Structure 1
Amino acid sequence: MSSAINIFLTGGTGYIGGGVLARLLVHPKAAQFNIKALVRTKDKAAIVTAKFPAITPIIGSNQDLDVLESAAAEADVVFAVADCDDLPAAEAILRGLKKRHESTGKTPVLIHTSGTGLLADHAAGLYAGEDIYDDADAAQIATLSITRIHRDVDLAVEAADTEGYAKTYIVLPSAVYGLATGPLVDAGFQNRFSMQIPMLIKAGLDRGQGGVVGKGANIWPYVHIDDCQDLYIVLLDAALSGSDKAGHGHQGYYFAENGEHNLYDVSAEIARVLFELGKGQRPSPTVFSDDEVKKYFGGPYIGSNSRARANRSRALGWSPGKANVEVLASSRPEIDAILESGNTTIYAIPKWLMAKYEAGH
């Protein structure tokens, strides 16, 4: 690549993407970076312009396919950190990268965000799954059906690498925990909150009692937000090195996980804290009814098993520093922050995505 490195990032106002954007600003090669970030509103763009002049905002969303294609066509590196099930948006970015390749002869880089929800089964909280996926085992990952959530987008990204017009790396965050911090959070630009644990917290606050899906026997891998964001930079550095030490395309799946918990333990800690704060009737969780599962989560997805091992990520040099036991300890700060923000709005998984999950395993 030339001395100037053009970077385009989507999802910069989000929980993960904002942290990646902040890391780019302090990267050792930051002076070489020309960073463009997609933002939805003029207000967010104004924050970037006023406080982070090294970032050029592009106003738009994943629905603005021409904007995505045009921005990708000018990029050496694209970070796609927005909706991992938006196939039209992914295809627009890929069209732009193909144009970049055709016009310059260079092979641009795409670091795309998927998720270990790809591995989710239909346990409904009733049992611990036995299938464990290894990101270093490309043949095992290749067995996953295109009908699973995220998979159609992942395969489109992988195909671009096979065709040779982009080097693609797919990051699969697990259940990310912890409050996001940093300058973009402080500026009111970046979302602080993850999904799984806040969903359980807000459900508990709404019903006045911490709850659990089924028996809570299902298992998910977890990763702290800081460690998750670090993986993107490890991949960027590997891609910019000019070597092929980082597998890409078919060999380019990278889990972000640092241990696992069953959902009962997480739900029990939330219930205990809510009880201590006078927001729950008892210190142990009660079972969500079927109606509550639909109301609070959109369906039984949160009761699934998703088991993963990040062996490829670690072999590349990713070294998560946050101990996995902090998952449980993170509940109290998250509850305090949600109560302080006053934002207890329930976020249920959209019906179309839940239908895809239910049909896809």
Structure 2
Amino acid sequence: MPSASFCSGDVENRARVEDIMLVFVTGASGFVGTGVTKELLAHGYEVLGLARSAASADKLRQLGATVHEGSIDDYESLKRGAQQADAVIHLAFKHDFENYWANCLQEGEVVKALGEALEGTNKPLIVTSATAVLTDTRDPSSTAPSTEHDPVPTDMAVMPRCISETASLAFSSRGVRVSVVRLPPSVHGRGEHGFIPMIVDAARKAGASGYIGEGTNVWPSVGRDDAAVLYRLALEKGDNGDIFHAVHDQGVPFKSIADAIGKRTGLPVKSVKEDEGEAHFGWLARIAKLSNPVSAKWTSEKLGWQPKGTTLLEDIEAGVYC
């Protein structure tokens, strides 16, 4: 039985968690997914992990998970995996930014398949989104961080990634207990292959660690293991329609990131004009100028989640990336 901790008198929450033993996890062998798989197994859950390759299957078995062979391209396989489980955590996403629009469209179909498999069961479906969905509805004159309850675009033409949320929350009135976890641009830690390693590579190729303009734009961030804990707590304590922010640092100035990379690599640090961003960062330029201050205050209060790991700058300075 899961060894979850509950507030005194939380009988309803305890009862529903006791019904959850097997969790179907897409992306279970990925960077974040590995952390989530370990966290669930350590707390008494069984994990059915989606694996599209022999290497992913071997990794999951070594962790102690059961393997469900398939991929997010196979919607029937996804449905079979979800129907076997007591809950679903959806982490998989094709991080091919040259085909970003098509991948977001497919994400809607993936979420639809998972939702249809759980429809009418009241089983939990936790879907992953991104804090960046908040950038296009944010008041540019405001200095306050965005919250879990701020509006987000519902039009893919404005923000393609919003489809994760709109497609999943559509099932919240169809007998599925849906919640959303928004991840920040940097989910950091050893083994990450996301934006920070790419920015380090860009710095090495350019011969300097760059930031755009004054570098005052900020990134939220979270350690991989802290994010994994949040997914478990969302499973145990989340209510239908909840949106959670997996955010430790609510806003790290990009210049500070560039400074830390420069210090660690020994590269000079320089400001890059906005119209020269692509020459320095390549397609990452639009990510490098992202400003996305985000609060996780409500998430922490609702779930009792308290990040305990290192910060992004501490990881860079410790040589996790270079």
Question: TM-score band, normalised by the shorter chain?
Answer: 0.7 to 0.9
Q: Residue 359 of structure 1 corresponds to which residue in structure 2?
A: none
Q: Aligned to 1:79, what secondary structure does the other structure show?
A: strand
Q: Aligned to 2:36, what secondary structure does the other structure show?
A: helix
TM-score normalised by length of structure 2: 0.80
Given candidates 36, 61, 66, the residue that maps to 1:56 is 66
Distance 2:83 2:19 in 1: 18
1:292 aligns with 2:285: no
Are residues 81 and 232 of structure 1, via their aligned partners in 2, closer, same or farther at CA, if it must alter by over 3 Å? same
1:37 aligns with 2:36: no
Distance 2:153 2:115 in 1: 27
TM superposition shift of 1:95: 3.3
TM superposition shift of 1:229: 1.4
Distance 1:121 1:92 in 2: 24
Q: What is the root-mean-square deviation of aligned Cα atoms in Å?
A: 2.8
The answer to whether the 8 Å contact 1:117/1:174 transfers is yes
Distance 2:28 2:305 in 1: 22
Q: Cα deviations across residues 11-31 of structure 1 (Å, max 9, x unaligned)?
A: 11221111000111111x33x
Q: Residue 298 of structure 2 corresponds to which residue in structure 1?
A: 312
Q: Residue 184 of structure 2 corresponds to which residue in structure 1?
A: 174
Are residues 134 and 63 of structure 1, via their aligned partners in 2, closer, same or farther at CA, if it must alter by over 3 Å? same
Letter in 1 for 2:185: A
1:154 aligns with 2:165: yes
Q: Cα deviations across residues 141-195 of structure 1 (Å, max 9, x unaligned)?
A: 256655213212211111110x232111100111335324xxxxxxxxxxx1152
Q: Aligned to 1:150, what secondary structure does the other structure show?
A: helix
Are residues 223 and 178 of structure 1, via their aligned partners in 2, closer, same or farther at CA, if it must alter by over 3 Å? same
- Map of 1:135-150 to 2, 5 A cutoff? 135=148, 137=149, 140-141=150-151, 145-146=155-156, 147-150=158-161
Letter in 2 for 1:248: N
Q: Residue 146 of structure 2 corresponds to which residue in structure 1?
A: 133
Q: Residue 134 of structure 2 corresponds to which residue in structure 1?
A: 119
Are residues 158 and 118 of structure 1, via their aligned partners in 2, closer, same or farther at CA, if it must alter by over 3 Å? same
The answer to whether the 8 Å contact 1:201/1:210 transfers is yes
Letter in 2 for 1:164: R
Q: Which runs of 5+ in 2 are unaligned?
A: 1-15, 95-102
Are residues 18 and 219 of structure 1, via their aligned partners in 2, closer, same or farther at CA, if it must alter by over 3 Å? same
Q: Residue 175 of structure 2 corresponds to which residue in structure 1?
A: 165
- Map of 1:316-331 to 2, 5 A cutoff? 316=302, 317-322=304-309, 326-331=311-316
1:273 aligns with 2:259: no
Given candidates 64, 69, 88, the residue that maps to 1:78 is 88
1:26 aligns with 2:33: no
Are residues 100 and 158 of structure 1, via their aligned partners in 2, closer, same or farther at CA, if it must alter by over 3 Å? closer
Q: Which runs of 5+ in 1 are unaligned?
A: 181-191, 239-245, 340-361
TM superposition shift of 1:68: 1.3
The answer to whether the 8 Å contact 2:87/2:123 transfers is yes
The answer to whether the 8 Å contact 1:220/1:306 transfers is yes
The answer to whether the 8 Å contact 1:40/1:61 transfers is yes
Are residues 111 and 100 of structure 1, via their aligned partners in 2, closer, same or farther at CA, if it must alter by over 3 Å? closer
Distance 2:312 2:59 in 1: 32
The answer to whether the 8 Å contact 1:176/1:225 transfers is no
Given candidates 67, 78, 91, the residue that maps to 2:77 is 67
Q: Cα deviations across residues 52-94 of structure 1 (Å, max 9, x unaligned)?
A: 4x42212332212221122122222111111186443443444
The answer to whether the 8 Å contact 2:134/2:152 transfers is no
Are residues 210 and 129 of structure 1, via their aligned partners in 2, closer, same or farther at CA, if it must alter by over 3 Å? farther
Once superposed, which parts of structure 1, at least 4 consecutive aligned residues long, lie more than 4 Å away? 1-4, 142-146
Distance 1:8 1:168 in 2: 14
Q: Residue 215 of structure 1 corresponds to which residue in structure 2?
A: 214
Q: Aligned to 1:16, what secondary structure does the other structure show?
A: helix
TM superposition shift of 1:129: 6.3
Given candidates 109, 118, 122, the residue that maps to 2:124 is 109
Q: Aligned to 2:221, what secondary structure does the other structure show?
A: strand
Are residues 78 and 233 of structure 1, via their aligned partners in 2, closer, same or farther at CA, if it must alter by over 3 Å? same
Distance 2:89 2:204 in 1: 35
Q: Which has the higher contact order (CA 8 A, sep 6+)?
A: 1
Letter in 1 for 2:72: N
Given candidates 247, 261, 264, the residue that maps to 1:257 is 247
Are residues 117 and 169 of structure 1, via their aligned partners in 2, closer, same or farther at CA, if it must alter by over 3 Å? same
Q: Residue 248 of structure 1 corresponds to which residue in structure 2?
A: 240
- Map of 1:87-98 to 2, 5 A cutoff? 87-98=105-116
The answer to whether the 8 Å contact 1:8/1:37 transfers is yes
How many residue pairs were aligned? Answer: 292
